[in-house]
Amino acid sequence: MNSRRRSSQTRQMLREGLSYRFTRAVVRKPGGNVVNGLRTVQRDPPDVELFQYEHDRYVEVLRQVGLCVDVLPPLEDFPDSVFIEDTALCLPEGVIILRPGATSRAGEAGETARALADLGHATKQIDTSGTVDGGDILVTDSMILIGLSHRTNKPGFDALKQVLDHWGYTVQAVQTPENVLHFKSDCSLLDSETVLSTSRLSAASCFSTFKVLTVPSGEEAAANSIRVNDKVLVPAGFPATADLIDKENYAVEIVPTSQAALLDGGLSCMSLRIK
């Protein structure tokens, strides 16, 4: 298929709302080494058994909303490998293998590439010495927003944009708020025209064409919810945000993430969702 025809098909798929419609997911189970995972604020380490329980519940919910889920084994050499989204970007054209920004996570992308190849997914490497985390990438129906952060730098953005330009996507760089780990720590997509956002990000120019729902004060972590098919998965412990989304007539599913949160993780980063 030539690039012009592929770009036309990509734009058509975006108009059809495929940015939140998925058929498969790939997750990686947390290992015993998850207690050594990275965190920007010093907190108690996660409880391994509780993390595994919450991860099992997460997988159960993904299956309930219609996804076929492939569960990969833990990687004991990589404490943060449960947060698999940071290693790849999944689009209809294929899977782009990324370059995580944390030094301790550098080898995770290769492990993800091998696992996806074994599962039959086409993968493509980006050519860069820069870094880019999947947690900084928000795919919408009209554009792909990439947050520049402590984990995603300009060379990484430029290399990823080169691939996405070739595939016909509109790509925009945005600035992740100071002291926020990832762009999607503070926002998520609810539908083709609506985003959920923290107040510190809601006024950003990148959201000027969207309706923005702002999470209530004190519940900023709930901005990392995820729309999967006909449900919005919302982390447990944020009732005001769940009520806000429910009143906008979205179907809400509450998912426990207390242990992932201890490592600055959330709902979006624990899976690769595939169209």
Q: pLDDT (tens digit, 9 = 90+) per residue, 169-209?
A: 999 999 999 889 999 999 999 999 999 999 999 877 889 99
Average pLDDT over residues 127-153: 96
pLDDT at residue 13 tops 70: no
pLDDT at 9: 53
Asked whether the CA dihedral 104, 83, 202, 235 is positive or negative, the reply is negative
Name residues whose C-beta falls within 8 Å of residue 258's C-beta, 6 or more positions apart in sequence: 50, 54, 236, 237
Q: Which residue, 190, 263, 251, 253, is CA-closest to 221?
A: 263
pLDDT at residue 11 tops 50: no
C-alpha distances out from residue 247 to 17, 21, 143, 240, 250, Å: 21, 22, 27, 11, 7
Res. 16 pLDDT band, cuts 50 70 90: low
Q: Is 68 a catalytic residue?
A: no
Q: Strand 272-274 to strand 24-28: parallel, antiparallel, or no bridges (unpaired)?
A: antiparallel
Q: Is 182 a catalytic residue?
A: yes
Q: Percentage of the chain with pLDDT > 90?
A: 88
Name residues whose C-beta falls within 8 Å of residue 26's C-beta, 6 or more positions apart in sequence: 69, 70, 72, 84, 115, 116, 119, 271, 272, 274
Are 153 and 101 within 8 A, CB to CB? yes
CATH topology classification for 3-178+257-274: L-arginine/glycine Amidinotransferase; Chain A (3.75.10)
pLDDT at residue 4 tops 50: no
| Whole-angstrom distance, CA of residue 89 vs CA of residue 49 | 29
Give the containing element (helix H, strand E) for 272.
strand 272-274
Q: Strand 194-197 to strand 187-191: parallel, antiparallel, or no bridges (unpaired)?
A: antiparallel
| Whole-angstrom distance, CA of residue 184 vs CA of residue 137 | 7
pLDDT at 274: 96
pLDDT at residue 275 tops 90: no
pLDDT at 210: 95
Lowest mean pLDDT among 4-13, 120-129, 219-228, 251-260: 4-13
Burial (Cβ within 10 Å: 0-12, 13-18, ≥19) of residue 12: exposed
Average pLDDT over residues 242-268: 98
Strands (E), 35-162: 68-72, 88-91, 94-97, 123-125, 137-139, 144-148
pLDDT at residue 12 tops 80: no
The residue annotated as part of the active site, out of 55, 90, 182, 187, is: 182
> The sheet that has 187-191: what strands, in order across it?
187-191, 194-197, 211-214
pLDDT at 1: 42
pLDDT at residue 2 tops 80: no
- Per the listing, tokens 């833990």 go with 74
Domains of the chain by residue range: 3-178+257-274
pLDDT at 202: 87
Q: Percentage of the chain with pLDDT > 70?
A: 94
pLDDT tens, position by position, 45-97: 999 999 999 999 999 999 999 999 999 999 999 999 999 999 999 999 999 99
